[in-house]
Chains A and B, each alone.
Chain A
Amino acid sequence: MAAKRPAPAPELRRSVTPWGSFAWGYSDVGADIFVGLGLVLAWAAGASNVAFLFAGVVYVCIGLAYTELAATYPVAGGGQYFVMRGLGDIFGFIAGWAVLLDFTIDVTLFAWSSVDYTSQLAPVLTNSLHPWLHFLAVLGLVLGLCLLNVIGVRESTAFNGFVSALDVISETLILCLGFLFAFQPQLLIHAMHFNWPAPYQLMLGTSLAIVSFVGLESISQAAQETQRPASVIPRTSVALILTILIFALAYSNLALGLHPWHPIVDASGHPMQFWQIFPHNADNQGKAVALLAAQVPYYGALAALYVPVLGAVLLLISSNSGVFGSSRIAYAMSSSNLLPSIFQRVHAVFRTPVISIVFFSTIALIELFFAAAPSLFPALASLYAQFFHGENGLEFLADLYAFGAATSYSFVFLGLIALRFSDPLSPRKFKIPLNIRMRFRGERVELPVIAVIGFIGIFSILLFTLRTHALGRIFGPSWLLLGLILYLVYRRHRRMPLLRSQPRDWRTDQANILRRAGELELMDEYLANVKASDARRASQQV
């Protein structure tokens, strides 16, 4: 009788198609403008379009970097894996831990904003009127998404794909009709000339604008579950980058130059420009796109009914991307011994990382409680005002979101540059343009100029965040410090190097990654490159 073979460990299944991959990214990044627009208009005022432009340029650099890395290393880890491979374990952990902060915030922030959009049609959910009801609605959404993700990715991907398609059509329609019938260039120029913000506000606005561009991580997260990732990822990423960039630039220009269909007046009856309804009004900031759509002549009557629903659903699936993303990063970090192996455990039936999903959803709930506390318990509001400049829940979440994104993206740029030098043999089906060729340790390498520019841009946004966000500069670094302590305790417990990296056979790893991804031609090319490099070195030694 043949001996029984041990059953193979369950793996994440490859069920995400090209459209699914785009939808995962779009549902996350595409929804960001629904949250970011109001916040940026509130702070950057007449320079909101410039804030979006600056953040947009940085975002294009980030997008290109992620596209190259995700196509070269199609694994679920995303940013943390690239950084770990390029810079070492501890930096990989820091990048991954920062991304985890972002994804847990993503869950709460977008569920929060989803309820804000719903409140446009159901005013009973308005946070300033009924904070407990608002809180309970967000809580219910987060718990529901946690359950959906435990059940499985296929269901979530179909859900995302449908709503993403609907949103692309709807947003295009709002922008086309808005620019054709409600846009006045003179109003835009007036807003820019007479309402240009102070440098502090511009920095704050720019750091919040990056909130509108967070989520490319989702595509690389889905890389391990995408069919033919090296071919699909570049296609979906480039489409995503351009779509999101144009939407963000278009919305900010339209909002500043919008001639409202229905006149907007202040308390004393003076006419106001559309963007002026956002400063000092958290309720409006949370549903900016719905308010804008309602001001497009004639079409606004219909848009006022369906855009809040569409926004709420899109934000909900963005929140869903947060649950998906955090569990996959934790899965990948655990596989690389950066987090305990419990996060790697996959459910035997659903084949989803159930423990990661539940753990990070719990963190999202803690963040929700902290964001909602001042509105739920008025006694705490004075405490927040004293220590945190009286920031509201939405600003608190956006602060942390900007911090996490800027930190992880800074490391990803460094990781990309390091990998160009340390791993020139991996075939790069997509390579970001503008490179300086040179030789390094006997190999031909290329220094990516765009990654250097992107690093300078995102690092300046990180500095803006630390300079201008009262809560972000306290809680962001605290989250990193807590993570580092946990990391060191875990590594010590496992008797692994604390500050140095664990020895790894990257060559075998890379061949296995490409084989598992079904990219057999790339695997052959990689093995041929390795063989040729070894032969070259051997001949040089002789």
Chain B
Amino acid sequence: MLYFRGFLAVVMVGCGLVILARMLAVANAGFAIVPGVLLGAAMIALGIHRISLILRIRKIT
């Protein structure tokens, strides 16, 4: 289960990176990219948070 959660977290970081990169590619659109950029950043943050939690659990056990 832990490996599966880890995999999901990595997928989330990857997906966030893709969104962020694609939104930044059209950065000249101004305000319209803000929600997409926030989404990408939030996905990366959540993914990293989950990975760090999983690593901490593995250290304990």
* Complexed CA–CA distance, A242 and B42 (Å): 9
**Residue B38, interface by CB 8 Å:** yes
* Complexed CA–CA distance, A50 and B34 (Å): 9
* Chain A residues within 8 Å of B18, by CB: 179-180
> In the complex, are the beta carbons of B11 and A49 less than 8 A apart?
no
> In the complex, are the beta carbons of B32 and A189 less than 8 A apart?
yes
> In the complex, are the beta carbons of B35 and A249 less than 8 A apart?
yes
**Residue A253, interface by CB 8 Å:** yes
* Complexed CA–CA distance, A257 and B18 (Å): 14
Minimum Cβ distance to chain A for residue B41 (Å): 10
> In the complex, are the beta carbons of B32 and A253 less than 8 A apart?
no
> In the complex, are the beta carbons of A193 and B32 less than 8 A apart?
yes
CB under 8 Å from chain A, chain B span 28-60: 29, 31-33, 35-36, 38-39, 42-43, 46, 49
* Complexed CA–CA distance, A250 and B15 (Å): 11
* Chain A residues within 8 Å of B22, by CB: 183, 185
Q: Which secondary structure dominates where chain B touches chain A?
A: helix
* Chain B residues within 8 Å of A250, by CB: 39, 43
A-B CB proximity, top 3 nearest: A49-B35, A192-B32, A189-B29
* Complexed CA–CA distance, A243 and B46 (Å): 8
A interface residues, Cβ below 8 angstroms from B: 49-50, 52-53, 169, 172, 175-176, 179-180, 183, 185-186, 188-189, 192-193, 242-243, 245-246, 249-250, 252-253, 257
Contact of A246 among B29, B33, B39 (CB under 8 A): B39
CB-CB nearest in chain A for B21: A185
* Complexed CA–CA distance, A188 and B32 (Å): 8
Contact of B15 among A50, A176, A243 (CB under 8 A): A176
> In the complex, are the beta carbons of B38 and A249 less than 8 A apart?
yes
> In the complex, are the beta carbons of B8 and A253 less than 8 A apart?
no
* Complexed CA–CA distance, A145 and B16 (Å): 38
Minimum Cβ distance to chain A for residue B37 (Å): 10
Contact of A253 among B11, B29, B35 (CB under 8 A): B35
Contact indicator per residue, chain B 1-39, by CB within 8 Å of chain A (1) or not (0): 000000010011001001100110110010111011011
* Contact flag A172-B8 (CB < 8 Å), given A185-B22, A246-B39, A253-B39: yes
For the complex with contacts A180-B15, A253-B35, 12 further pairs of A-B residues with Cβ separation under 8 Å are: A169-B8, A179-B15, A185-B33, A186-B26, A243-B46, A245-B42, A246-B39, A246-B42, A246-B46, A249-B42, A252-B35, A257-B36
